Amino acid sequence: MSGTVTAAKVFRVIGKILGRFFALLGVILLAAVIMLVGVSYIFCKGPSPLASDLFVVTMMETSALKFVPAIFFSDEEIKAIQARNSTVETFEVTDESLIVIPTAEEIASDSERESLEIIDIAASTYKGKLMIVRDPSRVVMAVPPVLGANGEGVQISKMVESEGGVAGINAGGFIDVGGVGNGGEPLGIVIKDGKLLYDGGSSIVIGFDKDDKLIVGWMSAQQAMEKNIRDGCSFGPVFIVNGKRADVAGTGGGLNPRTCIGQTADGSVLLLTIDGRQATSIGATYEDCINILEEYGAVNAANLDGGSSTVMYYNGEVINVSASVYGPRKLPTAFVVLPEKTSADSSAASEGGAVQ
Protein backbone atom coordinates (compact mmCIF):
# COMPACT_ATOMS: atom_id res chain seq x y z
CA MET A 1 0.00 0.00 0.00
CA SER A 2 2.75 2.39 0.95
CA GLY A 3 4.48 1.56 -2.33
CA THR A 4 1.34 2.51 -4.27
CA VAL A 5 0.97 5.79 -2.35
CA THR A 6 4.62 6.59 -2.92
CA ALA A 7 4.29 6.00 -6.66
CA ALA A 8 1.19 8.21 -6.84
CA LYS A 9 3.00 10.97 -5.01
CA VAL A 10 5.94 10.69 -7.38
CA PHE A 11 3.64 10.97 -10.41
CA ARG A 12 1.90 14.00 -8.88
CA VAL A 13 5.24 15.70 -8.26
CA ILE A 14 6.37 14.93 -11.79
CA GLY A 15 3.05 16.27 -13.12
CA LYS A 16 3.47 19.51 -11.17
CA ILE A 17 7.05 19.94 -12.41
CA LEU A 18 6.00 19.33 -16.02
CA GLY A 19 3.05 21.67 -15.64
CA ARG A 20 5.25 24.44 -14.27
CA PHE A 21 7.82 23.80 -17.00
CA PHE A 22 5.31 24.11 -19.81
CA ALA A 23 3.68 27.11 -18.17
CA LEU A 24 7.09 28.80 -17.95
CA LEU A 25 7.83 27.84 -21.54
CA GLY A 26 4.51 29.36 -22.62
CA VAL A 27 5.29 32.60 -20.78
CA ILE A 28 8.73 32.76 -22.41
CA LEU A 29 7.28 32.18 -25.88
CA LEU A 30 4.56 34.76 -25.29
CA ALA A 31 7.15 37.27 -24.08
CA ALA A 32 9.27 36.56 -27.15
CA VAL A 33 6.29 37.16 -29.46
CA ILE A 34 5.39 40.39 -27.63
CA MET A 35 9.00 41.55 -27.84
CA LEU A 36 9.15 40.68 -31.57
CA VAL A 37 5.96 42.61 -32.26
CA GLY A 38 7.16 45.51 -30.10
CA VAL A 39 10.54 45.71 -31.81
CA SER A 40 8.83 45.39 -35.18
CA TYR A 41 6.50 48.24 -34.28
CA ILE A 42 9.42 50.45 -33.28
CA PHE A 43 11.20 49.72 -36.57
CA CYS A 44 8.07 50.16 -38.68
CA LYS A 45 6.45 53.14 -36.98
CA GLY A 46 9.49 54.77 -35.36
CA PRO A 47 10.99 58.14 -36.30
CA SER A 48 13.50 56.73 -38.83
CA PRO A 49 12.13 56.04 -42.35
CA LEU A 50 15.43 54.35 -43.22
CA ALA A 51 15.08 51.86 -40.35
CA SER A 52 11.47 51.24 -41.33
CA ASP A 53 12.38 50.58 -44.96
CA LEU A 54 15.29 48.35 -43.96
CA PHE A 55 13.08 46.27 -41.71
CA VAL A 56 10.34 45.82 -44.32
CA VAL A 57 12.58 44.86 -47.24
CA THR A 58 14.59 42.51 -45.02
CA MET A 59 11.41 40.70 -43.89
CA MET A 60 9.99 40.57 -47.41
CA GLU A 61 13.06 38.69 -48.65
CA THR A 62 12.34 35.84 -46.24
CA SER A 63 9.99 32.97 -47.01
CA ALA A 64 8.59 32.46 -43.52
CA LEU A 65 8.33 36.05 -42.17
CA LYS A 66 6.73 37.93 -45.06
CA PHE A 67 3.59 38.30 -42.94
CA VAL A 68 5.27 40.55 -40.35
CA PRO A 69 5.31 43.82 -42.37
CA ALA A 70 1.63 43.23 -43.25
CA ILE A 71 0.81 43.67 -39.55
CA PHE A 72 1.83 47.33 -39.77
CA PHE A 73 1.51 48.29 -43.45
CA SER A 74 -0.99 47.85 -46.27
CA ASP A 75 -0.05 45.94 -49.43
CA GLU A 76 0.26 49.23 -51.30
CA GLU A 77 2.63 50.66 -48.66
CA ILE A 78 4.78 47.52 -48.72
CA LYS A 79 5.03 47.61 -52.52
CA ALA A 80 6.02 51.28 -52.40
CA ILE A 81 8.74 50.54 -49.82
CA GLN A 82 10.08 47.68 -51.93
CA ALA A 83 10.07 49.86 -55.05
CA ARG A 84 12.22 52.55 -53.45
CA ASN A 85 14.65 49.96 -52.02
CA SER A 86 15.65 47.83 -55.00
CA THR A 87 17.95 47.63 -57.98
CA VAL A 88 17.10 49.37 -61.23
CA GLU A 89 16.24 46.59 -63.66
CA THR A 90 18.52 46.27 -66.68
CA PHE A 91 17.91 44.33 -69.86
CA GLU A 92 21.56 44.44 -70.89
CA VAL A 93 23.15 41.02 -71.40
CA THR A 94 26.81 40.02 -71.06
CA ASP A 95 29.19 40.96 -73.87
CA GLU A 96 31.43 37.90 -74.05
CA SER A 97 34.24 39.81 -75.80
CA LEU A 98 35.06 41.59 -72.51
CA ILE A 99 36.23 38.29 -70.98
CA VAL A 100 39.56 36.85 -72.15
CA ILE A 101 40.24 33.47 -70.55
CA PRO A 102 43.76 31.99 -70.59
CA THR A 103 44.09 28.56 -72.13
CA ALA A 104 43.71 25.55 -69.85
CA GLU A 105 47.41 24.87 -70.24
CA GLU A 106 48.31 28.44 -69.23
CA ILE A 107 46.06 28.24 -66.18
CA ALA A 108 47.52 24.88 -65.11
CA SER A 109 51.10 26.06 -65.54
CA ASP A 110 50.68 29.38 -63.69
CA SER A 111 52.37 28.78 -60.34
CA GLU A 112 52.00 32.39 -59.15
CA ARG A 113 48.25 32.18 -58.55
CA GLU A 114 46.34 29.70 -56.43
CA SER A 115 43.89 27.61 -58.43
CA LEU A 116 41.29 27.92 -55.66
CA GLU A 117 41.43 30.52 -52.90
CA ILE A 118 39.07 31.17 -49.99
CA ILE A 119 39.00 34.61 -48.40
CA ASP A 120 37.21 35.65 -45.19
CA ILE A 121 34.99 38.69 -45.75
CA ALA A 122 33.79 40.92 -42.91
CA ALA A 123 32.17 44.29 -42.27
CA SER A 124 30.06 45.90 -39.56
CA THR A 125 26.88 43.91 -40.30
CA TYR A 126 28.15 40.70 -41.83
CA LYS A 127 30.74 37.96 -42.18
CA GLY A 128 31.19 35.77 -45.23
CA LYS A 129 33.38 33.69 -47.52
CA LEU A 130 34.67 34.47 -51.00
CA MET A 131 35.90 31.55 -53.08
CA ILE A 132 37.97 32.39 -56.16
CA VAL A 133 38.26 29.68 -58.83
CA ARG A 134 40.90 30.51 -61.43
CA ASP A 135 39.71 28.06 -64.11
CA PRO A 136 36.03 28.71 -65.00
CA SER A 137 35.70 25.37 -66.78
CA ARG A 138 35.79 23.76 -63.33
CA VAL A 139 32.46 25.38 -62.35
CA VAL A 140 29.47 23.28 -63.45
CA MET A 141 25.79 22.89 -62.61
CA ALA A 142 24.47 20.09 -60.40
CA VAL A 143 20.80 19.09 -60.18
CA PRO A 144 18.69 16.42 -58.45
CA PRO A 145 17.38 13.41 -60.41
CA VAL A 146 13.93 14.97 -60.97
CA LEU A 147 12.97 18.66 -61.32
CA GLY A 148 9.43 20.02 -61.14
CA ALA A 149 6.31 19.78 -59.01
CA ASN A 150 6.91 16.05 -58.49
CA GLY A 151 10.61 16.43 -57.84
CA GLU A 152 12.60 16.91 -54.66
CA GLY A 153 15.77 18.87 -54.10
CA VAL A 154 19.05 17.51 -52.83
CA GLN A 155 21.43 18.90 -50.20
CA ILE A 156 24.54 20.51 -51.60
CA SER A 157 26.85 17.87 -50.12
CA LYS A 158 25.10 15.23 -52.23
CA MET A 159 25.24 17.38 -55.37
CA VAL A 160 28.95 18.05 -54.96
CA GLU A 161 29.48 14.33 -54.44
CA SER A 162 27.39 13.43 -57.50
CA GLU A 163 29.57 15.63 -59.71
CA GLY A 164 32.81 14.44 -58.14
CA GLY A 165 33.45 18.01 -57.01
CA VAL A 166 35.51 19.60 -54.25
CA ALA A 167 33.30 22.60 -53.49
CA GLY A 168 29.95 24.18 -54.23
CA ILE A 169 27.40 26.89 -53.49
CA ASN A 170 23.64 26.99 -53.81
CA ALA A 171 22.42 28.46 -57.08
CA GLY A 172 18.92 29.21 -58.43
CA GLY A 173 15.66 29.88 -56.65
CA PHE A 174 12.71 27.56 -56.14
CA ILE A 175 9.07 27.55 -55.06
CA ASP A 176 9.28 27.95 -51.29
CA VAL A 177 5.89 28.87 -49.83
CA GLY A 178 6.22 29.55 -46.12
CA GLY A 179 9.87 28.53 -46.15
CA VAL A 180 9.03 24.83 -46.25
CA GLY A 181 9.60 24.06 -49.95
CA ASN A 182 11.41 20.81 -50.77
CA GLY A 183 13.62 22.38 -53.44
CA GLY A 184 12.12 20.37 -56.27
CA GLU A 185 10.42 23.07 -58.36
CA PRO A 186 12.87 25.69 -59.70
CA LEU A 187 12.13 29.29 -60.60
CA GLY A 188 12.92 30.22 -64.20
CA ILE A 189 15.12 27.89 -66.20
CA VAL A 190 17.69 25.19 -65.55
CA ILE A 191 20.34 24.19 -68.11
CA LYS A 192 22.95 21.48 -67.56
CA ASP A 193 25.58 20.27 -70.02
CA GLY A 194 23.95 22.35 -72.75
CA LYS A 195 20.53 20.72 -72.27
CA LEU A 196 17.41 22.58 -71.15
CA LEU A 197 16.10 20.61 -68.17
CA TYR A 198 13.44 23.02 -66.94
CA ASP A 199 11.63 25.98 -68.49
CA GLY A 200 9.62 28.11 -66.10
CA GLY A 201 9.51 31.13 -68.42
CA SER A 202 11.64 34.19 -69.16
CA SER A 203 13.78 35.28 -66.24
CA ILE A 204 17.20 36.55 -65.22
CA VAL A 205 19.53 33.79 -66.37
CA ILE A 206 22.87 33.22 -64.66
CA GLY A 207 25.15 30.67 -66.25
CA PHE A 208 28.31 29.76 -68.13
CA ASP A 209 28.42 29.40 -71.90
CA LYS A 210 30.40 26.77 -73.77
CA ASP A 211 33.43 29.09 -73.72
CA ASP A 212 33.24 29.19 -69.88
CA LYS A 213 32.12 32.83 -69.79
CA LEU A 214 29.54 33.89 -67.22
CA ILE A 215 26.41 35.19 -68.93
CA VAL A 216 23.91 37.27 -66.92
CA GLY A 217 20.75 38.94 -68.15
CA TRP A 218 17.03 38.68 -68.75
CA MET A 219 16.19 36.11 -71.42
CA SER A 220 13.91 33.28 -72.43
CA ALA A 221 14.97 29.64 -72.48
CA GLN A 222 15.33 29.84 -76.27
CA GLN A 223 17.57 32.91 -76.02
CA ALA A 224 19.66 31.17 -73.38
CA MET A 225 20.13 28.18 -75.65
CA GLU A 226 21.05 30.52 -78.52
CA LYS A 227 23.66 32.02 -76.18
CA ASN A 228 25.13 28.51 -75.89
CA ILE A 229 24.63 28.36 -72.13
CA ARG A 230 26.14 25.06 -70.94
CA ASP A 231 25.15 25.37 -67.24
CA GLY A 232 22.71 27.92 -65.88
CA CYS A 233 19.82 28.77 -63.58
CA SER A 234 17.59 31.72 -62.70
CA PHE A 235 17.46 34.26 -59.91
CA GLY A 236 18.68 37.86 -59.62
CA PRO A 237 18.98 40.76 -59.64
CA VAL A 238 21.95 41.32 -61.92
CA PHE A 239 24.63 43.16 -59.93
CA ILE A 240 27.24 43.94 -62.58
CA VAL A 241 27.00 43.59 -66.35
CA ASN A 242 29.81 44.42 -68.79
CA GLY A 243 31.73 46.23 -66.06
CA LYS A 244 28.80 48.47 -65.07
CA ARG A 245 27.36 48.13 -61.59
CA ALA A 246 23.60 48.15 -61.07
CA ASP A 247 21.96 51.23 -59.61
CA VAL A 248 20.70 50.35 -56.15
CA ALA A 249 18.03 52.47 -54.50
CA GLY A 250 17.70 52.83 -50.74
CA THR A 251 18.51 49.81 -48.61
CA GLY A 252 18.47 47.44 -51.62
CA GLY A 253 17.10 44.11 -50.42
CA GLY A 254 17.69 44.74 -46.73
CA LEU A 255 20.13 42.83 -44.54
CA ASN A 256 19.98 39.13 -45.38
CA PRO A 257 22.16 36.08 -46.01
CA ARG A 258 23.43 36.23 -49.61
CA THR A 259 24.87 33.97 -52.28
CA CYS A 260 26.40 35.61 -55.35
CA ILE A 261 28.49 34.70 -58.38
CA GLY A 262 30.75 36.80 -60.58
CA GLN A 263 33.56 36.59 -63.13
CA THR A 264 36.62 38.75 -63.66
CA ALA A 265 38.08 39.85 -66.99
CA ASP A 266 40.54 36.94 -66.96
CA GLY A 267 37.77 34.40 -66.39
CA SER A 268 38.28 33.77 -62.67
CA VAL A 269 35.01 32.88 -60.95
CA LEU A 270 33.97 34.61 -57.72
CA LEU A 271 31.66 32.62 -55.44
CA LEU A 272 30.43 34.70 -52.50
CA THR A 273 28.35 33.73 -49.48
CA ILE A 274 27.32 36.10 -46.70
CA ASP A 275 26.03 34.76 -43.37
CA GLY A 276 22.93 36.42 -41.93
CA ARG A 277 20.14 36.41 -39.34
CA GLN A 278 22.68 35.82 -36.57
CA ALA A 279 23.97 37.89 -33.67
CA THR A 280 27.47 38.00 -35.19
CA SER A 281 26.35 38.50 -38.80
CA ILE A 282 23.02 40.19 -39.50
CA GLY A 283 23.43 40.10 -43.28
CA ALA A 284 24.34 42.21 -46.31
CA THR A 285 22.49 44.49 -48.71
CA TYR A 286 22.72 44.33 -52.50
CA GLU A 287 25.09 47.30 -52.38
CA ASP A 288 27.39 45.46 -49.96
CA CYS A 289 27.63 42.48 -52.31
CA ILE A 290 28.26 44.64 -55.36
CA ASN A 291 31.07 46.43 -53.54
CA ILE A 292 32.76 43.13 -52.61
CA LEU A 293 32.46 41.66 -56.10
CA GLU A 294 33.65 44.87 -57.72
CA GLU A 295 36.62 45.06 -55.32
CA TYR A 296 37.74 41.62 -56.51
CA GLY A 297 37.41 42.54 -60.18
CA ALA A 298 34.00 41.25 -61.27
CA VAL A 299 33.02 42.30 -64.79
CA ASN A 300 29.74 40.38 -64.64
CA ALA A 301 27.94 39.29 -61.49
CA ALA A 302 24.52 38.40 -60.15
CA ASN A 303 22.62 37.55 -57.00
CA LEU A 304 21.76 33.89 -56.48
CA ASP A 305 19.18 32.48 -54.05
CA GLY A 306 20.04 33.50 -50.50
CA GLY A 307 18.42 33.48 -47.09
CA SER A 308 18.23 30.07 -45.45
CA SER A 309 19.44 28.49 -48.72
CA THR A 310 22.84 30.20 -48.55
CA VAL A 311 25.57 27.57 -48.21
CA MET A 312 29.21 27.14 -49.19
CA TYR A 313 30.63 23.63 -49.15
CA TYR A 314 34.33 22.76 -49.37
CA ASN A 315 36.39 19.64 -48.74
CA GLY A 316 33.54 17.66 -47.25
CA GLU A 317 32.00 20.27 -44.97
CA VAL A 318 29.86 23.41 -44.93
CA ILE A 319 32.24 26.30 -44.24
CA ASN A 320 29.74 29.11 -43.77
CA VAL A 321 27.12 29.43 -41.03
CA SER A 322 23.72 28.59 -42.46
CA ALA A 323 20.65 30.58 -41.42
CA SER A 324 18.53 27.44 -41.72
CA VAL A 325 17.59 26.03 -38.32
CA TYR A 326 17.30 22.59 -39.94
CA GLY A 327 20.78 22.60 -41.48
CA PRO A 328 21.56 22.78 -45.22
CA ARG A 329 18.36 22.78 -47.26
CA LYS A 330 17.34 20.63 -50.20
CA LEU A 331 18.04 22.56 -53.41
CA PRO A 332 17.17 22.33 -57.11
CA THR A 333 20.53 23.58 -58.37
CA ALA A 334 24.10 24.19 -57.22
CA PHE A 335 27.26 25.51 -58.81
CA VAL A 336 29.87 22.84 -58.17
CA VAL A 337 33.65 23.22 -58.45
CA LEU A 338 35.37 20.22 -60.02
CA PRO A 339 38.87 19.05 -58.99
CA GLU A 340 41.83 20.98 -60.35
CA LYS A 341 43.03 19.96 -63.78
CA THR A 342 46.64 18.85 -64.10
CA SER A 343 49.06 19.92 -66.82
CA ALA A 344 48.61 16.45 -68.36
CA ASP A 345 44.83 16.92 -68.43
CA SER A 346 45.22 20.29 -70.13
CA SER A 347 47.59 18.92 -72.74
CA ALA A 348 45.26 16.00 -73.48
CA ALA A 349 42.29 18.38 -73.80
CA SER A 350 44.14 20.70 -76.16
CA GLU A 351 45.08 17.72 -78.33
CA GLY A 352 41.51 16.43 -78.40
CA GLY A 353 42.21 13.52 -76.05
CA ALA A 354 39.86 12.25 -73.42
CA VAL A 355 40.23 13.76 -69.95
CA GLN A 356 39.29 11.46 -67.06
Strand ranges of the sheet holding 317-318, from the earlier edge strand across to the other edge? 139-142, 334-337, 167-170, 312-314, 317-318
Tell me if residue 154 falls in helix, strand or coil: strand
Read off the pLDDT of each residue in 268-273 and give the average, rounded to a whole number. Answer: 98
Q: Give the span between the Cα atoms of 159 and 153, in whole angstroms.
A: 10
pLDDT of residue 8 exceeding 80, the answer is no
Read off the pLDDT of each residue in 196-225 and give the average, rounded to a whole number. Answer: 97
- Strands (E) in the chain, as ranges, are 116-122, 127-133, 139-142, 167-170, 189-192, 195-199, 203-209, 214-219, 229-234, 238-241, 244-245, 258-264, 269-274, 298-304, 312-314, 317-318, 334-337
Read off the pLDDT of each residue in 285-307 and give the average, rounded to a whole number. Answer: 97
| 311, 336 contact by CB (below 8 A) | no
| Single pTM value for the model | 0.84
Tell me if residue 82 falls in helix, strand or coil: helix
Read off the pLDDT of each residue in 13-41 and give the average, rounded to a whole number. Answer: 60
What percentage of the chain's residues is helix, strand, coil (to nearest 5)? 35, 25, 40
The pLDDT, as a whole number, for residue 353 is 41
Three-state secondary structure readout of 90-131 = CCCCCCHHHCCCCCHHHHHHCCCCCCEEEEEEECCCCEEEEE
Read off the pLDDT of each residue in 254-281 and give the average, rounded to a whole number. Answer: 96
324 class by beta-carbon count within 10 Å (0-12 exposed, 13-18 middle, 19+ buried): middle
Q: Give the span between the Cα atoms of 63 and 186, in whole angstroms.
A: 15
Q: Give the span between the Cα atoms of 201 and 188, in whole angstroms.
A: 6
pLDDT in tens, 106-164: 887 887 788 999 999 999 999 999 999 999 999 999 999 999 999 999 999 999 999 99
The pLDDT, as a whole number, for residue 105 is 82
The confidence band for 257, taking pLDDT boundaries of 50, 70 and 90, is: very high
Read off the pLDDT of each residue in 334-339 and give the average, rounded to a whole number. Answer: 98
Secondary structure element (H or E) that encloses residue 281, with its range: none
For residues 291 and 327, the model is more confident at 291
The pLDDT, as a whole number, for residue 354 is 37
The pLDDT, as a whole number, for residue 87 is 83
